[in-house]
Amino acid sequence: VDPVKLRQSIRTVLFNQTMISLPMLVIFYPIFKWRGDPCCRELPTFHWFLVELAFFTLVEEILFYYSHRLLHHPTLYKKIHKKHHEWTAPIGVISVYAHPIEHV
Protein backbone atom coordinates (compact mmCIF):
# COMPACT_ATOMS: atom_id res chain seq x y z
CA VAL A 1 0.00 0.00 0.00
CA ASP A 2 1.37 3.38 -1.03
CA PRO A 3 1.46 5.51 2.16
CA VAL A 4 1.15 8.79 0.24
CA LYS A 5 -1.92 7.56 -1.62
CA LEU A 6 -3.38 6.21 1.63
CA ARG A 7 -2.92 9.58 3.40
CA GLN A 8 -4.61 11.37 0.50
CA SER A 9 -7.49 8.88 0.65
CA ILE A 10 -7.87 9.36 4.41
CA ARG A 11 -8.02 13.14 3.85
CA THR A 12 -10.81 12.61 1.30
CA VAL A 13 -12.72 10.37 3.71
CA LEU A 14 -12.32 12.88 6.56
CA PHE A 15 -13.48 15.69 4.29
CA ASN A 16 -16.58 13.72 3.27
CA GLN A 17 -17.37 12.80 6.87
CA THR A 18 -16.89 16.32 8.31
CA MET A 19 -18.04 18.54 5.45
CA ILE A 20 -20.90 16.40 4.10
CA SER A 21 -22.10 13.84 6.66
CA LEU A 22 -21.90 16.07 9.71
CA PRO A 23 -23.82 19.00 8.15
CA MET A 24 -26.44 16.56 6.85
CA LEU A 25 -26.90 15.22 10.37
CA VAL A 26 -27.24 18.74 11.76
CA ILE A 27 -29.80 19.63 9.10
CA PHE A 28 -31.86 16.44 9.40
CA TYR A 29 -31.76 16.07 13.18
CA PRO A 30 -34.63 18.54 13.80
CA ILE A 31 -36.72 16.69 11.21
CA PHE A 32 -36.07 13.35 12.89
CA LYS A 33 -36.80 14.88 16.28
CA TRP A 34 -40.07 16.39 14.97
CA ARG A 35 -41.18 13.00 13.61
CA GLY A 36 -40.74 11.41 17.03
CA ASP A 37 -38.44 8.89 18.62
CA PRO A 38 -38.24 5.78 16.40
CA CYS A 39 -36.70 3.81 19.28
CA CYS A 40 -39.66 2.93 21.45
CA ARG A 41 -39.27 1.10 24.73
CA GLU A 42 -41.10 -1.98 23.50
CA LEU A 43 -39.24 -4.33 21.18
CA PRO A 44 -41.02 -5.64 18.09
CA THR A 45 -42.01 -9.27 17.95
CA PHE A 46 -39.48 -11.66 16.46
CA HIS A 47 -41.71 -12.30 13.44
CA TRP A 48 -42.11 -8.56 12.77
CA PHE A 49 -38.35 -8.15 13.11
CA LEU A 50 -37.80 -10.85 10.45
CA VAL A 51 -40.34 -9.24 8.11
CA GLU A 52 -38.70 -5.83 8.44
CA LEU A 53 -35.22 -7.29 8.09
CA ALA A 54 -36.16 -9.12 4.88
CA PHE A 55 -38.01 -6.11 3.42
CA PHE A 56 -35.38 -3.47 4.16
CA THR A 57 -32.52 -5.74 3.08
CA LEU A 58 -34.27 -6.30 -0.24
CA VAL A 59 -34.95 -2.57 -0.70
CA GLU A 60 -31.36 -1.64 0.18
CA GLU A 61 -29.91 -4.25 -2.19
CA ILE A 62 -32.10 -3.12 -5.09
CA LEU A 63 -31.43 0.59 -4.54
CA PHE A 64 -27.68 0.02 -4.13
CA TYR A 65 -27.46 -2.18 -7.22
CA TYR A 66 -29.26 0.24 -9.54
CA SER A 67 -27.59 3.38 -8.17
CA HIS A 68 -24.18 1.71 -8.50
CA ARG A 69 -25.02 0.58 -12.00
CA LEU A 70 -26.12 4.12 -12.88
CA LEU A 71 -22.77 5.43 -11.64
CA HIS A 72 -21.07 3.19 -14.22
CA HIS A 73 -22.63 5.23 -17.04
CA PRO A 74 -19.63 6.69 -18.95
CA THR A 75 -20.40 10.30 -18.03
CA LEU A 76 -20.94 9.65 -14.33
CA TYR A 77 -18.13 7.12 -14.09
CA LYS A 78 -15.49 9.42 -15.51
CA LYS A 79 -16.41 12.45 -13.38
CA ILE A 80 -17.67 10.90 -10.14
CA HIS A 81 -17.46 7.13 -9.68
CA LYS A 82 -13.94 6.44 -10.94
CA LYS A 83 -12.55 7.66 -7.58
CA HIS A 84 -14.36 4.77 -5.85
CA HIS A 85 -12.53 2.26 -8.06
CA GLU A 86 -9.01 3.66 -7.52
CA TRP A 87 -8.42 1.18 -4.70
CA THR A 88 -8.59 -2.59 -4.94
CA ALA A 89 -6.86 -3.35 -1.60
CA PRO A 90 -9.31 -4.34 1.16
CA ILE A 91 -8.60 -1.52 3.62
CA GLY A 92 -11.37 -0.49 6.01
CA VAL A 93 -11.16 3.28 5.54
CA ILE A 94 -11.35 2.83 1.77
CA SER A 95 -14.87 1.39 2.08
CA VAL A 96 -16.14 4.99 2.39
CA TYR A 97 -13.64 6.52 -0.04
CA ALA A 98 -15.65 8.24 -2.76
CA HIS A 99 -16.22 11.50 -4.61
CA PRO A 100 -18.20 13.95 -2.43
CA ILE A 101 -21.22 13.75 -4.75
CA GLU A 102 -21.22 9.96 -4.52
CA HIS A 103 -20.81 10.21 -0.75
CA VAL A 104 -24.08 12.12 -0.50
CA 31 remoteness from chain centre? 20
Domain count, the chain: 1
The pTM score is 0.72
Q: What is the DSSP letter of 89?
A: S
Which residue range is the domain that position 21 belongs to?
A: 3-102
Q: Minimum mean pLDDT among 55-64, 72-81, 89-98: which range?
A: 89-98
- d(Cα 10, Cα 95) in Å, to the nearest integer? 11
Q: What is the DSSP letter of 19?
A: I
Q: What is the pLDDT of residue 87?
A: 86
CA neighbor of 19 nearest in space, from 80, 100, 79, 99: 100
Question: Above 90 in pLDDT, residue 81?
Answer: yes
